[in-house]
Amino acid sequence: MTARRLLPWAIALFFALVVGFGIAISLGWLEEPALTRSDYVGTTDVTADDARLYRTVPFEWRVTGAAGAFTGSDIAHIRVDPSGERTLICGWLSRDKAGASMRASRWLSEARLRVGDIVISAGFIAPTDSSPGNDLHAGCAGLYDGLRPAGDAALALEGPSVHE
């Protein structure tokens, strides 16, 4: 086949790909999973006994800024409580690593928390200098739409690099 015969087919294939890509975008196939509707409902005191109900969720954070790119790891403490009228998800991050903890807090402000098969914003997780039983307050988010993930659902924090 000559190039003249292939050119119309190549053009038609290109336009078909562009139309297919447009349809995929309009149907949401190429988007990140939608965040589950939730809102910040405040903080709760965490006693030493309550702290045992929180699970540790390790995460890796990445922050970029004028001073360069920084990476690290930290641990958030999260509790899923589906027993009330609305499911509450509460959490805190200990700021025990000076600048690294501040960067981890910055990353968490834009990260997502995966609770089983739902995804919510992790911005509710409260950074704190306190320890359980010593004026520690965990930030809490309430889920909408009657969602009730199990209290022992798998937890994971994820997100892209954020700007400082």
pLDDT in tens, 5-44: 777 777 777 777 777 766 766 665 555 556 788 889 999 9
Distance CA 111, CA 155 (A): 13
What is the tens place of the pLDDT at every residue in 54-105?
999 999 999 998 888 999 999 999 999 998 899 999 999 998 877 788 899 9
pLDDT at 155 (0 to 100): 97
Pairing relationship of beta strands 88-94 and 126-128 according to DSSP bridges: parallel
Residues 9, 88 within the same domain: no
Enumerate the H helices of 28-92 as residue ranges.
48-51
Residues 97, 146 within the same domain: yes
Residues 26, 78 within the same domain: no
- Tokens standing for residue 155: 């937890």
Count up the domains in the chain and report the number. Answer: 2
The answer to whether residue 162 scores a pLDDT higher than 80 is yes
- Tokens standing for residue 13: 């294939």
Residues 156, 109 within the same domain: yes
State the pTM of this model: 0.76
What is the tens place of the pLDDT at every residue in 139-151?
999 998 888 998 8
Distance from the first to the final alpha carbon of the chain: 56
List the domain range (segments joined by +) for residue 8.
1-31
Phi and psi dihedrals of 138, rounded to 5? -95, 140
Phi and psi dihedrals of 48, rounded to 5? -60, -35
